[in-house]
Amino acid sequence: MGAPSGFTSSDKSGRSTKPVESREHVVIRFAGDSGDGMQLTGTQFTNQSAMAGNDIVTLPDFPAEIRAPAGTLAGVSGFQLNFSSQHIFTPGDEPDVLVVMNPAAYAVNVDDLVEGGILIADNDAFSKSNLRKAGFEGNPLEAEGLTDRYRLFSVPITKMTVEALKDLGLPQKSVVRCKNFFALGLCSWLFNRPTDATLRWIEAKFKKPELIEANRRAFHAGWNYGETTEAFAATYQVPEADIEPGRYTNITGNKALAWGLMAAAAKADKQLFYASYPITPASDILHELAAHKDFGVITFQAEDEIAAAGVALGASFSGSVAVTGTSGPGVSLKGETLGLAVMVELPMIVVNVQRGGPSTGLPTKPEQSDLLQALYGRHGECPVAVIAPSSPTDCFDAAFEAVRVAIRYMTPVIVLSDGFLANGSRPWKTPSFADLPEIAAKFWTETLGFHPYLRDEDTLSRPWVVPGTPGLEHRVGGLEKDYNSGNISYMPQNHERMIRVRASKIERIADELQPLEVMGDPDADTLVISWGSTYGALYAAVKELNSQGQPIAHAHLRWLNPLPPEIGELIARYKRVIVAELNMGQLVRVLRERFLVDAVPINRMQGQPFKTGELVAEIKGLMEKRA
Amino acid sequence: MGAPSGFTSSDKSGRSTKPVESREHVVIRFAGDSGDGMQLTGTQFTNQSAMAGNDIVTLPDFPAEIRAPAGTLAGVSGFQLNFSSQHIFTPGDEPDVLVVMNPAAYAVNVDDLVEGGILIADNDAFSKSNLRKAGFEGNPLEAEGLTDRYRLFSVPITKMTVEALKDLGLPQKSVVRCKNFFALGLCSWLFNRPTDATLRWIEAKFKKPELIEANRRAFHAGWNYGETTEAFAATYQVPEADIEPGRYTNITGNKALAWGLMAAAAKADKQLFYASYPITPASDILHELAAHKDFGVITFQAEDEIAAAGVALGASFSGSVAVTGTSGPGVSLKGETLGLAVMVELPMIVVNVQRGGPSTGLPTKPEQSDLLQALYGRHGECPVAVIAPSSPTDCFDAAFEAVRVAIRYMTPVIVLSDGFLANGSRPWKTPSFADLPEIAAKFWTETLGFHPYLRDEDTLSRPWVVPGTPGLEHRVGGLEKDYNSGNISYMPQNHERMIRVRASKIERIADELQPLEVMGDPDADTLVISWGSTYGALYAAVKELNSQGQPIAHAHLRWLNPLPPEIGELIARYKRVIVAELNMGQLVRVLRERFLVDAVPINRMQGQPFKTGELVAEIKGLMEKRA
Amino acid sequence: MSTTAVDVTKQTRKDFVSDQDVRWCPGCGDYAILAQVQKVMPELGVPRENVVFVSGIGCSSRFPYYMNTYGFHSIHGRAPALATGVKLARPDLSVWIVTGDGDGLSIGGNHLIHILRRNLDVNILLFNNEVYGLTKGQYSPTSRLGQITKSSPMGVVDQPFDTAALALGAGATFVARTIDVEQKHLQSVLHAAVEHKGTSFVEILQNCPIFNDGVFSEVTDDDGRAYRQLLLENGKPMLFGPESDRKGIRLSREMRPEVVSVNEDEGIDEDILVHDVANDAKSFFLASLDWQTAGAQPPMPVPLGVLRAVDRPIYEQSVHGQIDAARQKEAAGDFDRLFATGDSWVVD
Amino acid sequence: MSTTAVDVTKQTRKDFVSDQDVRWCPGCGDYAILAQVQKVMPELGVPRENVVFVSGIGCSSRFPYYMNTYGFHSIHGRAPALATGVKLARPDLSVWIVTGDGDGLSIGGNHLIHILRRNLDVNILLFNNEVYGLTKGQYSPTSRLGQITKSSPMGVVDQPFDTAALALGAGATFVARTIDVEQKHLQSVLHAAVEHKGTSFVEILQNCPIFNDGVFSEVTDDDGRAYRQLLLENGKPMLFGPESDRKGIRLSREMRPEVVSVNEDEGIDEDILVHDVANDAKSFFLASLDWQTAGAQPPMPVPLGVLRAVDRPIYEQSVHGQIDAARQKEAAGDFDRLFATGDSWVVD
Ligand SMILES: Cc1ncc(C[n+]2csc(CCOP(=O)(O)OP(=O)(O)O)c2C)c(N)n1
Ligand SMILES: Cc1ncc(C[n+]2csc(CCOP(=O)(O)OP(=O)(O)O)c2C)c(N)n1
Ligand code: SF4
Ligand code: SF4
Ligand SMILES: [Mg+2]
Ligand SMILES: [Mg+2]
């Protein structure tokens, strides 16, 4: 008989009665087949942890295939969460706890588990055929030495799930699908997570009552298994972190970016127009915005990336806050249109959620290798502004700022996110809309002395004139324009003048950037520079190094073009400058060229974020080498 | 009655009987309406000069419109030629002789004429309506002071042409069209050019006998006008230059490039496959190659630049020497496909005949602003080899070398030409085909131990295996591949390894580059660096500076990626390094970054090549400033 | 000074003539088209500030500069994309796309077929001169087999597109064809295009005297006008030929076109096809008439006028319709509510 | 060791199965297609080393990895371009393009229509699942109006392409349609495609159980098979429906499709259209049958099989023909003569 749903602990309240050990932080990774629902499990566990008051950082990791054959190494999907009572900045280097739902997940992930870490495995899934698919001869759970290295909990998850659900009359396939909730229940128990939200979520998510009941039962069964059996002697507790009061929501970078665009358009009192062609890992921005038609957002799924850029530019000409989002391959296609946007000087945002390149590369993995393309990837002298968010939540602010700058300077702005930010999540202290700054964005209507390339003295930007404005009919286009009339001009000096004025316009943005913050040891002789998503890992590494007494400071660049004006002087103050990036060294080139500083790179191109430990070691190595 | 054709000089031989003054070199510019045949006139005059034994450099200058309304400034077309008894390297800064066929041509060009220069004008064309179209109130030929500045020859060219042809029964339109041959005849007389070739050319070029006769008569009429009237007191002679013996032909950069590709493919014993989409100023390469089907050349006019690149890459997979040619906007579209070529490691040549950018920019004018795009204009770490020819004739050698390197290293190679090289011409000492080096290009057929990413130890290149080879069936593609098997791989370390190996492959090309030649003063403390088409202007400027006693040396970079290995050391030897480019400073960024040298830029973005005089002045200025 | 609106009813041709010098070659067919468009504009009753001309690159694509309206001379092939953005963001504007056979059918082919299927309410004028003019005479996707051009010295071997068939195949709701030199017809087609709600696709056969002179003379010279123009009228039989030698088109049992002589006084045979702009099969049939193959006997006439006109939902209306519907939702547009969605929690 | 050729006559299905793990979702229609293609391959009599599969990006575009032939998994939408290069450089190869409704009709639409008009002798298999599979479920250019997907939460408003109509409009010489689950039919269509000289365009309706499950069940479930499949055979009347309830298609006076009951024993009415793969008007007519609009009465059947097959010059033959002709010229291929052309002169 299947177990009814409900907790077995004495008070039936979902609180364990077993002894509790306290931990500062825990890194847990759920891994299974793409069909096993690991992303969902991870997300739920994350929400529970956030609500428990921990600081959290997540790192989902998908395969490139939708659903590679079940049980194969290629089909393994993972989700890692770091939850802590301290402020944290990375999803953690290595999991303390690893949950594997099949042998392939074991094979791909086990080497990452810290020695002495907890390994929970669904031993039902370690069947002969699954073992073969994962390339095992025997059952690795039974391998010699395994229990010396890890604290193994070999749990018959499938069997117990089936058992718990057996009288519900569901097809076997649906029953087995619930096993991730068993795992979630077990982990919820193990880490004393609040369970109400999950139970509420199950009710909201599943439409059919029997599925609600099934998942609820599986969840309870997992929880009860921990509480009842003697396999686990104790539970763990990660105390609440000291977090600024406020309302929080756990948000991925893509969602934050979408919301940032929406909020900025609203604050500029303009229509948000998002034109895009689906591509991993940027598509979720399209999905998120498409779901917000109630905010007046127009989303347009174009026939390709070139069209998306063209449609956005047309919408900008018509007065919308126009955005086109994509990933690397799409940016390689948008170059020509971006050049046109530079020439016609219209505001436009290009979001590049970077992934592993070149070419199709590693489509689901993060990388920072599109920076030089953002700066130089078009024919002609073709400068655009470039900003890179530093965390999932900063995606909101960076998007907001990109819109502001694009309008104020009448220029395209590239936002360089990446797959790690896009899918990773952080708790976001939700602002009140009223408190967000206004964005000045008035269309030009003055006919006196008008021409389309009249320039604002401060910003050098030209006026934003939209069709429908009487008396200001004019033509824009990709041919060079006369500085004084906006007509086509092939005159030699005029061309040079226009090239220089377009460049100066971008440089002027620097005047209003937030001052660069220098973190870490104030007496440092070494400066580590990061940009984009590596902020967290670098921050954590420098903190660690400082705590080890290393004299290191840290600066993070959010704007890549223009650079903050003080960066040159700042760099000059240090004996050593290190630039860490997930590429072959791109920002480091820019800094070396601009400031003739012998900055040295730390590079990683493995489709993964930096690990703090690696960074610590590598920075130390450089300090010794260049002492 | 119209004049019969024939020369009026006493010996009827086309040799003048008037006094002859000798000149070291002459810069002449023909300018008129797009419909006036100025390119043809210039080309013929050039050929005459080459055959007269002079060294020559040309600079055609077209409007962007096919044929803007007759008589307007926008419709002016020009052709400048420098012919000399010395070795020359530029088309000359300012014309010594200016021929203008209408007021618009006068307006656009007259300021360039050197003081005291010869100005020949078709005064019949200075009608009221033409003057108005060119923006004149009165007739500038009659303006006060003009004859003080220039030696004006105001000639009724149209009227005399009409007169000479009047009994031929041709329609008025055809008659008037012949006036450029009058001008050519006059100039041929004035500079004692050999006339036979022109007369032969007229016969070959025109099909209808009456047109042959008409142009012949116009030519003679012009010649005779000079000889007979008293307008001209003397003729000029530019003696033969001391030119290496051999057979020469006057060749434009585009033609030389096309021939270089053809010769290279033949030397590699492969089919040349050129896929392109027309674009100024690259289209002539397509036209030239399309005309050589007798060499087995396949040309494919694609539906767009993306298709052209894709077709080329497909042809390369099939074993052709595959080339795709375009200009800036087209390169901005080819980025993604180029990335695929990098990933699949197939040989491919991308020719970029640079023009003024960004966007549509100045489509008929040269610029060097696509260098950084060539280096960095693709997503991901995506290195390709980059070579830039230094003169129209070097286009042959650079194309040849690009093919060799592409095959040897199994890599895309970008050839950066520009509009100046493309249309400009130089005498080319024609090689014997037999003397050109062979290009080793064997397809791989060995099955033992084969996988598609097996690497050659020396070059790191993978094997070129073409379909049809039994036993070597394999798949390539844009996803990251395993170093050891060539299968798709998402493994972290493998990705980094592959990125590094692709980069090393390009770096290895440096091992076999020709040593860098240092020209100019051997004891110099200042080094001027040039690349691409600016070679000639820089060479001439440094020569001039040296002759003025300035301690300056000159190095020219032909390969931009990789850089020649000795460049770093070389640069370190100088107190000052100056990099002159037709852009905002792109190579200078690369050198500053790579070698941390405080190289300073000289930039010009005016849609024109450097002028030697400007360079001399600017370099001197920098020497003083940084003394 | 504030902006001043033009009185729509008083707009004249001149109001649509810009101050830019027209830079086409003498004798170019584009002049005639420009003149007709400028003539038709005031009749639309749209103030010129609400009109936008969007083009790509090519001789034809210079068009916007000469219209005293808003204009965007974009990049090669992308005008339909730009125009989609303009129109979708501002459905109140009258949006016109001007393109060429190279711009619209070669590099821009994809954007063209996609805008046609989406059916935005815009007008597309494709100037078909069967050559690349601006780049000085290479063959285009409409150049005929065997045509000698700079890039096809031994003759074109690429089968040309039939522009109308391509548009119909893409699902265009309005497809028409006219000729630069037929001023009246051109005007009437422009009017029909404007009246159509949805994407109006108009192919204009245009002479390029410099690189493809006389390519349409077979249907525009005196003989051609008389014998080779099939002037389509909705609901009317498909007749052509001079008064003295009228002919009609009928369908054979095998569904092939047949040309037969007709004596209008004696009444028109039932078999003669009656044009129906809303009948897919007829539109496709007309598009498949091969009027270009040299020497076909009897030579087929070129169908001119509206080949197809059907009603279908208009894209921008559907898009804005969904937005309007969504805005009826409770808390629509409330950011504070949005930020609090999902599993939010409070730290105090 | 030198390379070894396979004995063509002895090739079996297995020779075409590569060593790569097939990575589609369980139940994906792509498996069935792969199996049929691998089955048909040995029957072509082409040694597998002379076969090249070229694809773009998408689930469907993974296809080449699973074929033990040469293969190129290129970039999104560009397979027709790559394949054109492969085939034009080496006309002796058997070249196959595998693409999806997104890859082939969205980003790759332009290359597709251009390869179709050029008519290279290659085979195109377009797997139409009416959705973007690989990117996890956005709508595609063939998704139906109203379809709810991740990017169309309130329903698709973009009119879908009719794939066959688009191909016909582009001038395709061979257009066919089949279904993943109809193994025999799929095989026969593959055979017909191979036999056709010129570009063969085959649309394969394919189920994506993950993101668009059952989209074709209306024509593949038991009822659908019986009532909704119009199996085309050249020279045969257009009939469908179960034995007990046969129907035929005829053209009304207004040239509109009509479905009528047929009793085959009593002889088939003259009016019933007879399929003719070489008749443009009929092919277009078939392509314009609207079988997808839900709830049409009577529902139209889906035309399956070869809609069009006509002969036209083959692109690569024309290209190489010109080259061969040029090579007959005196001094063809003589570089020294080439270098001396134009106005060359000798300095001595
Ligand atoms: C990306 C890009 N590729 C190529 C070109 C060169 N180009 C400009 S116009 C044109 C063809 C124009 O042909 P068409 O559209 O028929 O216009 P026409 O000049 O005949 O009116 C080409 C190939 C360009 N400007 N941009
Ligand atoms: C340039 C570029 N843009 C976008 C993508 C993302 N992408 C990959 S496949 C695909 C759509 C595939 O749809 P379809 O061709 O129908 O194939 P299916 O997966 O349905 O078989 C998209 C949008 C990409 N890889 N490259
Ligand atoms: S080249 Fe042809 S199409 Fe272009 S402007 Fe001249 S005549 Fe007109
Ligand atoms: S997502 Fe759909 S099309 Fe792609 S492999 Fe899975 S089932 Fe097949
Ligand atoms: Mg054209
Ligand atoms: Mg699909």
**Chain D nearest CA to A132, separation (Å):** 13
Minimum-distance ligand 4 atom for the alpha carbon of D62: 5
**Chain D nearest CA to B432, separation (Å):** 6
Minimum-distance ligand 4 atom for the alpha carbon of D209: 7
CB distance from C109 to chain B under 8 Å?
A: yes
In this structure, which amino acid lies at residue B424?
A: G
**Chain B nearest CA to C160, separation (Å):** 12
**CATH 3.40.50.920 domain residues, chain B:** 518-626
pLDDT tens sequence across B36-75: 999 999 999 999 999 889 999 999 988 777 777 888 888 8
CB contact under 8 A, C251 and D287: no
Q: How far is the CA of D335 from the centre of ligand 2 (A)?
A: 46
pLDDT tens sequence across D102-156: 999 999 999 999 999 999 999 999 999 999 999 999 999 999 999 999 999 999 9
Query: Most C CBs within 10 Å: which of B36, B72, B177, B287, as the mutation test of the C interface?
Result: B287
pLDDT at D84 over 60: yes
Q: How far is the CA of B478 from the centre of ligand 6 (A)?
A: 19
pLDDT tens sequence across A305-360: 999 999 999 999 999 999 999 999 999 999 999 999 999 999 999 999 999 999 99
Would the pTM of this model clear 0.90, i.e. be above it?
Answer: yes
Q: Which of A252, A290, A323 is nearest to D149 (CA)?
A: A290
The beta strands (E) that lie in B148-232 are given as 151-155
pLDDT at D254 over 90: no
Domains and CATH numbers, chain C: 8-234+275-309 (3.40.50.970), 237-274 (no CATH)
pLDDT tens sequence across B281-324: 999 999 999 999 999 999 999 999 999 999 999 999 999 999 99
Chain D: residue whose CA lies nearest to A68? D23
**CATH 3.40.50.970 domain residues, chain A:** 249-435
Domain B249-435 CATH assignment equals 3.30.390.10 = no
pLDDT at C3 over 60: no
CB contact under 8 A, B328 and A379: yes
CB distance from C210 to chain B under 8 Å?
A: yes
Using an 8 Å CB-CB cutoff, list chain D residues near C280.
Answer: 284, 288
Chain A: residue whose CA lies nearest to B481? A361
Q: What is the residue-wise DSSP string for B269-328?
A: T--EEEEE---TTTHHHHHHHHTTGGGT-EEEE-SSHHHHHHHHHHHHHTT-EEEEEE-H
Average model confidence (pLDDT) across chain B:
94
Q: How far is the CA of C116 from the centre of ligand 5 (A)?
A: 20
Minimum-distance ligand 1 atom for the alpha carbon of B278: 23
pLDDT, position C169: 97
pLDDT tens sequence across C183-226: 999 999 999 999 999 999 999 999 999 999 999 999 999 989 99
Q: What is the average pLDDT across C52-58?
A: 98
Tokens 């077993």, residue located: A18
pLDDT at B11 over 70: no
- pLDDT > 70: what percent of chain D? 97
pLDDT at C296 over 90: no
Residue C211 CB–ligand 3 contact under 6 Å: yes
Chains touching A (at least 3 CB pairs under 8 A) are: B, C, D
Q: Residues A126, A132, A135, CA angle at the centre, nearest 5°?
A: 105
pLDDT at B554 over 90: yes
- Who among A64, A377, A607 is closest to B373 (CB)? A377
**Chain D nearest CA to A101, separation (Å):** 18
pLDDT at D4 over 70: no
Residue C208 CB–ligand 3 contact under 6 Å: yes
pLDDT at C1 over 50: no
pLDDT, position C197: 97
Residue D137 CB–ligand 4 contact under 6 Å: no
Tokens 């037929």, residue located: C182
| Separation of CA B272 from chain center | 22
Confidence of residue A207 (pLDDT cuts 50, 70, 90): confident
Confidence of residue A516 (pLDDT cuts 50, 70, 90): very high
Chain D: residue whose CA lies nearest to C120? D158
**Chain C nearest CA to D104, separation (Å):** 11
d(CA B377, CA B338): 10
Nearest CA to ligand 2 atom 7: A279
The structure tokens listed for D273 are: 């259209």
Q: What is the average pLDDT across D304-318?
A: 98
pLDDT, position B70: 84
Confidence of residue B3 (pLDDT cuts 50, 70, 90): low
C-contacting residues in A 338-367 (Cβ below 8 Å): 339-340, 344
D-contacting residues in C 176-195 (Cβ below 8 Å): none
ipTM: 0.96
Confidence of residue D268 (pLDDT cuts 50, 70, 90): confident
CB contact under 8 A, B467 and D348: no
Chain B: residue whose CA lies nearest to D2? B446
d(CA C277, CA D78): 36
pLDDT at B112 over 80: yes
Q: How far is the CA of C158 from the centre of ligand 1 (A)?
A: 18
Q: What is the average pLDDT across B453-459?
A: 97
**CATH 3.40.920.10 domain residues, chain A:** 20-237
pLDDT at A485 over 60: yes
Q: B252 has which bridge partners?
A: B425
Residue C22 CB–ligand 3 contact under 6 Å: no
**CATH number at B20-237:** 3.40.920.10
Instruction: Assign domain B518-626 to a CATH class.
Output: alpha beta
A-contacting residues in C 126-185 (Cβ below 8 Å): none
d(CA C46, CA A468): 10
Using an 8 Å CB-CB cutoff, list chain B residues near C109.
Answer: 303
Chain B: residue whose CA lies nearest to C61? B65
Confidence of residue B1 (pLDDT cuts 50, 70, 90): very low
Average model confidence (pLDDT) across chain A:
94
pLDDT, position B66: 72
Q: What is the average pLDDT across C294-317?
A: 91
CB distance from D71 to chain B under 8 Å?
A: yes
Confidence of residue C228 (pLDDT cuts 50, 70, 90): very high
Q: Classify A26 as helix, strand or coil.
A: strand
Q: Which of C203, C202, C182, C183 is nearest to C36 (CA)?
A: C183
The structure tokens listed for A396 are: 């909101």
Query: Most D CBs within 10 Å: which of A293, A299, A303, A423, as the mutation test of the D interface?
Result: A303
For CA atoms B507, B512, B517, B522, give the dihedral sign: positive
Cβ pairs bridging B and D (under 8 Å): 231
Residue in D30, D76, D215 to alter for ligand 2 test, most ligand atoms within 8 A of Cβ? D76
Nearest CA to ligand 2 atom 23: A278
Q: How far is the CA of C136 from the centre of ligand 3 (A)?
A: 9
pLDDT tens sequence across B478-526: 999 999 999 999 999 999 999 999 999 999 999 999 999 999 999 999 9
Confidence of residue D342 (pLDDT cuts 50, 70, 90): confident
pLDDT at D71 over 50: yes
Residue in B277, B283, B303 to alter for ligand 1 test, most ligand atoms within 8 A of Cβ? B277
pLDDT, position C191: 97
d(CA B351, CA B41): 29
pLDDT tens sequence across C135-177: 999 999 999 999 999 999 999 999 999 999 999 999 999 999 9
CB distance from B485 to chain D under 8 Å?
A: no
Tokens 């920075």, residue located: A619
Confidence of residue B9 (pLDDT cuts 50, 70, 90): low
Residue D133 CB–ligand 2 contact under 6 Å: yes
CB distance from B2 to chain C under 8 Å?
A: no
Q: What is the average pLDDT across D72-91?
A: 98
Q: At what angle do helices A157-165 and A179-190 cross, to 10 degrees?
A: 110
Higher pLDDT, A9 or C35: C35
pLDDT, position D264: 82
d(CA A377, CA A383): 10
Q: Which residues contact B230 (CB under 8 A, 6 or more apart)?
A: none
Q: How far is the CA of A72 from the centre of ligand 4 (A)?
A: 16
Q: B41 has which bridge partners?
A: none
Distances (CA, A) of C91 to A310, C120, C317, C326: 17, 9, 8, 18
- Who among C5, C20, C78 is closest to A470 (CB)? C5
pLDDT, position D7: 78
Q: What is the average pLDDT across D50-54?
A: 98
CB distance from D210 to chain A under 8 Å?
A: yes
- pLDDT > 70: what percent of chain B? 98
pLDDT at B532 over 70: yes
pLDDT, position D265: 83
Burial B306-333 (b: 16+ CB within 10 A, else e): bbbbbbbbbbbbbbbbbbbbbbbbbbbb
Chain B: residue whose CA lies nearest to D49? B468
Sort A475 into a burial class: Cβ within 10 Å, 0-12 / 13-18 / 19+. buried
**Chain C nearest CA to B541, separation (Å):** 35
